[in-house]
Amino acid sequence: MKDIKDMPACPVETVWELIGNKWKVFIIRDLISGTKRFGELKKATGASQKSLAANLREMEDDGLVERKVFPEVPPRVEYTLTDIGYSLGAVIEPMVQWGSAYKEYCCLKLKKSKKLQL
């Protein structure tokens, strides 16, 4: 967890520091639907094992993700968003909506340009 005096004054910068890379955003996207194992997250995000592990560790340190290790052989580890991590869904959902609208915009623009070329 970050010390309050080390946090930026700007709230946008705070969010960016916490989730400002694609792996963290993808991890949140995939954990919004519920608990996942490491292998599931690796497959869903496309991150390398090293990148995924490092990002999950940072997110755990920041209080966004909870890691649960089960005393089994082989060991089973599950990741879940904490309450504060889950609240980032309010940040991710508008990104989903905007991304969908942008894709639609690009498709319409492409169709329009093809019509103009005919």
pLDDT of res. 112: 82
pLDDT averaged over every residue in the chain: 92
Supply the angle between the helices 49-61 and 22-31 in degrees, to the nearest 10: 70
Please check whether residue 36 is in contact with residue 44, taking contact to mean a CB–CB distance below 8 angstroms: yes
Report how far residue 7's alpha carbon sits from residue 13's, in angstroms, rounded to the nearest whole number. 9
Q: What is the CATH number of domain 4-86?
A: 1.10.10.10
- pTM of the model as a whole: 0.84
pLDDT of res. 36: 98
Lowest mean pLDDT among 32-36, 47-51, 52-56, 70-74: 70-74
pLDDT of 111 above 70: yes
